[in-house]
Amino acid sequence: MAGITLQGVTKAYGSQSVLNDINLDIADGEFLTLVGPSGCGKSTTLRIIAGLETQSTGDVFIDGSIVNETRPSKRDLAMVFQSYALYPHLSVHQNLITPLKLRDLTALERIPLFGHLMPERGKKMSVISSEVQKVAEILKIEPLLDRKPGQLSGGQRQRVALGRAMVRNPAAFLMDEPLSNLDASLRVHMRAELSELHRELKATFVYVTHDQAEALTMSDRIAVMMDGDLLQLGPPDEVYENPTDIRVAEFIGSPKMNILPASCDDKGSIDCLGQKIKVKLKDKTKQSLSIGIRPEHLVLQSGAKSSFSGELTYKENLGSDVFLHLDIGLETGKVVIRTDPQDANSAKIGDKISFGASPNKYLVFDANGKRIDARGKGNS
């Protein structure tokens, strides 16, 4: 069990910079998720922690000691790959004992036939077998031990890959999009299982995904990465409620947060699409802004007190919720409102629909996409 720290880690391939100054402190036993769109550098970060790639500058610490020069196998980490990377020519049982054999047996003891003559080998192998048995019991893969990976389903391979990581009892688990090759229902199921496994093992988990739902559901903390930068680090609800960057706001949450163009005059009052918004800025300078509002915070309104209105172009019915897509004349896309099925019943495609939100739900971003501290007063 160990914590992992990254200090000022950068990575560049030639002149192409892929990681800019990543600082990350992962506590012992924490489930931390690195999330971001593909190409954001999250997998590179994980590989640097694993030692499969070396950083251009900066330091990696595991359990307080610096490991920049340490081989991957000596870092006491285990990795689960997206493709599972099981050895296809070995049975499940042999796949599981491989890391233990490589760690515990000497080179002489690993030689076929001759190795069996070595005095310590039998004792070591029985220890290894009992370790494998234990892990197979936890993951419920005992009936599969004699099969080859090619004879297993995706979910079963996933378990075997987890098992191969677990047998060594490593200081931390690194997982590189382990669920993305599974079908949708199995993925949801495995999310719960992974969280449970994390609670049982009490080990550090570093989990890479591009799926914000996985990040929100499983992690203790989320690190949102984009274009090689670590944009925000915090618990899932904080990242969701309080994004510090417009890119984080747009990436986390499904359906996406609505972004509306706005501007601020020198008295600090905000005008959004011709509507005054009851939000006060501390910084009273004239500037252009973006207003972010989550679909579930928009409410349908009728009559004169409504703030915005648009034409209903599409109704997405999910049973429990309905997403209303409204065209309010923005070039950047439609506004999405999440609402109850009863409220959406009467709305028909082509209807003019009015909506608004309580001012304290508005998130204000400046022209560079940084969050501005703003205070909304009461309900509209």
Partner 1 sequence: MQNSKVHYWFIAPALLLMFILLILPVIVAATLSMTDYSLGNSSFNWVGTDNYEKLFSRRSYAKMFSASLTYVLIVVPISVALGLGSALLISSLRIGNELYKAIFFLPVMATLLAMAIVWEFALNPIMGVVNDILRSGCDKRLIYGFFTGAWYGADPLQSWYGTACADKFPIWLGDKRYALGTIAFIGIWQGFGFNMVLYLAGLTSVPRELYQAAHMDGADSAWERFKLVTWPMLGPTHVFVITISSIRSFQVFDTVEALTEGGPSKSTYVMVYAMFEKGVRQNLLGIGSAITIVFLAFVLVLTLIQVYFVNRRVHY
Is 14 an interacting residue with respect to partner 1 (CB under 8 A)? no
**Which one among 13, 23, 52, 367 touches partner 1, defined by CB under 8 A?**
52
Of 310, 266, 313, 256, nearest in space to 286 by CA: 266
Is 42 an interacting residue with respect to partner 1 (CB under 8 A)? no
Instruction: Count how many Cα atoms sit within 13 Å of the Cα of residue 50 in the half-sphere of its side chain.
Output: 21
Is 89 an interacting residue with respect to partner 1 (CB under 8 A)? yes
> Per-residue string for binding with partner 1, 138-177, x by CB under 8 A?
----------xxx-------------x-------------
From residue 333, alpha-carbon distances to 297, 301, 345, 350 in Å are 18, 21, 24, 17
**Which one among 2, 79, 141, 194 touches partner 1, defined by CB under 8 A?**
79
**Which one among 9, 40, 60, 77 touches partner 1, defined by CB under 8 A?**
77
Compute the distance between CA of residue 169 and CA of residue 67 in angstroms, rounded to an integer: 19
**Which one among 1, 81, 234, 250 touches partner 1, defined by CB under 8 A?**
81
Count of residues interacting with partner 1 (CB under 8 A): 26
Smallest gap from Cβ 176 to partner 1, in A, equals: 9
Smallest gap from Cβ 87 to partner 1, in A, equals: 7
Smallest gap from Cβ 71 to partner 1, in A, equals: 6
**Which one among 71, 267, 282, 348 touches partner 1, defined by CB under 8 A?**
71
Residue ranges in contact with partner 1 by CB under 8 A? 47, 50-52, 71-73, 77-79, 81-83, 85-89, 98-99, 102-103, 148-150, 164
